Amino acid sequence: MLPYKNHFEKLELIKSKKIDLVENVKYFLNRIEKEKRLNAFNFVFEEEALQSAEIISDKIISGNHGALAGLVIGIKDVLSIKDKPLTCSSKILRDFKSIYNATVVQKLIAEDAIIIGKTNCDEFAMGSSNENSAFGNVLNPVDETKVPGGSSGGSAAAVAAFLCDAALGTDTGGSIRQPAAFCGIYGLKPTYSRVSRFGLTAFASSFDSIGPFARSIEDISIILKSISGYDKKDSTSSQIEVPDFTKSLNLKSENIRIGIPKEYFSEGLNEEIKKSILELIQNLKNKNISITEVSLPHTEYTIAAYYILTTAEASSNLARYDSVRFGKRSSKIDSLNEMYKNSRSEGLGAEVKRRIMLGTYVLSAGYYDAYYLKAQKVRRLIKEDFDNAFSSVDVILTPTSPSLPFNIGEKSDDPLEMYLSDIFTTSANLAGIPGISIPYAKAKNGLPIGVQLLAKQFDEENLIKATKIIMELAE
């Protein structure tokens, strides 16, 4: 077991020489080896991690170090790390190496974090179970017969199984929050544009957000602070000032107003999850926290709008994997068209192909107005639902997922059933707002239950404050 609960404690222990950072990295490397069957990592950077540990250990002891000094972190394999493989867990990028660092990676390095490897995920971040990976599926460390959630399943499993201190994931429709809920840890999706997407392989560019997984809210806050901020290399990144999120934990939080969206407690929600969230709501009321019911009337259209818009964006973004500049070329290349067709047919997996076809269809001349344009309008209505709700409450509390972690293989033959796992998470990406999943409770069989909090754009502070209240109730 680790002798610290969060990064602040770890730093103190290193400073006072109660723990040795090189030994700490070795501990994680041994754990990665021991828990190899979880399949959480696509690549492990053993030598570099040990080298960095030596250098950073000296920096910490001399008192001249970054905010994340010695934090051992895994990076989802859709983010660029210079000179390292960037596969997106796809066969088509199996041999691809990145020639530059993603801005988030650069920022982690600048704050003296130690990158231990690249984590497994669904191919191009498309999925809810991490079963769509060319590297094979990931097991849930809490119960290895279950999926860890997706698409950032490797990141969540790695943190939950103590293979690293924290990890970065990406969330286009729930891929940080849902695996965090399934593995029993914290996962935060920032406001769209809060964190630069430079160096992130695009899935759906107007939805994609990068965010942290950790075992404590303290670590979530400090990582979020370090990776946020304007970046001239991403013209969509926001210039809005980044608060010191580590201070949010100490702000007064009793006055926070929590909204409960009535549409999220309808049929299809697992009974145990429902019971546990209703209990939490009662406990909050008992603590005199303001709880009101709110309405998000367009909730029933979120999955449809999400899967039209994201597949449209994906079909465009993934056009670059044509084996000319990006992507492994097929050996069957009698003509230019054959080359494109065979390279893409061989290199891309079934789910990715399904989405490219769906996206191409909804963008095609005859169907554009009926699907793409309509879904854009619905997106606006969903955003307005949230604007209305946030005029009377500070945060919205919901379950993260409608189900407990499901069995491996249980939903993989039924895409629609799989898409419904995203029912509570996609709305935040449609509206561009931040969300967090908190490991609140456990079901009778020991599987984790996650609670989701949503806040208005750029209000991660209230998410963190409300998380603190919920944590106190969980303890």
CB of 274 to ligand GLN, least distance (A): 21
- State the DSSP H helix or E strand holding residue 399, giving kind and residue range, or none if neither: strand 395-399
State how far the alpha carbon of 199 is from the alpha carbons of 82, 104, 194, in Å. 10, 8, 15
Rounded Cα distance between 83 and 102, Å, is 12
Our answer to whether residue 226 is catalytic in this structure is: no
User: Which residue, 151 or 248, has its beta carbon nearer to ligand GLN?
Assistant: 151
Interface with ligand GLN includes 193 (CB under 6 A)?
A: no
Residues 254-313 within binding reach of ligand GLN (CB under 6 A):
310
Q: 354 exposed, middle or buried (CB, 10 Å; 0-12, 13-18, 19+)?
A: middle
* Binding-site member from 21, 38, 126, 222 for ligand GLN (CB under 6 A): 126
The active-site residue out of 10, 76, 189, 225 is 76
Our answer to whether residue 175 is catalytic in this structure is: yes
* Binding-site member from 154, 174, 211, 432 for ligand GLN (CB under 6 A): 174
User: Which residue, 253 or 412, has its beta carbon nearer to ligand GLN?
Assistant: 412
User: Which residue, 249 or 420, has its beta carbon nearer to ligand GLN?
Assistant: 420
Residues 405-424 within binding reach of ligand GLN (CB under 6 A):
422
Read off the DSSP letter of residue 407. Answer: B
Interface with ligand GLN includes 343 (CB under 6 A)?
A: no
* Binding-site member from 171, 218, 313, 394 for ligand GLN (CB under 6 A): 171
Our answer to whether residue 235 is catalytic in this structure is: no
* Binding-site member from 133, 155, 172, 437 for ligand GLN (CB under 6 A): 172
Interface with ligand GLN includes 149 (CB under 6 A)?
A: no
Read off the DSSP letter of residue 296. Answer: -
- Whether the bond between 151 and the residue before it is cis, its omega within 30 degrees of 0, is yes
Interface with ligand GLN includes 432 (CB under 6 A)?
A: no
Interface with ligand GLN includes 77 (CB under 6 A)?
A: no
Q: Nearest CA to 25 among 58, 57, 60, 62?
A: 57
Of the listed pieces 165-173, 217-225, 385-393, 465-473, which binds ligand GLN according to CB under 6 A? Answer: 165-173
- State the DSSP H helix or E strand holding residue 305, giving kind and residue range, or none if neither: helix 302-317
Interface with ligand GLN includes 180 (CB under 6 A)?
A: no
**Which residues are CB-contacts of 149 (< 8 A; sequence separation ≥ 6)?**
128, 129, 130, 140, 156, 178, 179, 180, 181, 182, 183, 401, 405
State how far the alpha carbon of 3 is from the alpha carbons of 19, 328, 329, in Å. 8, 45, 49
Residues designated catalytic: 76, 151, 175
Interface residue list for ligand GLN (CB under 6 A):
125-128, 151, 170-175, 203, 310, 422
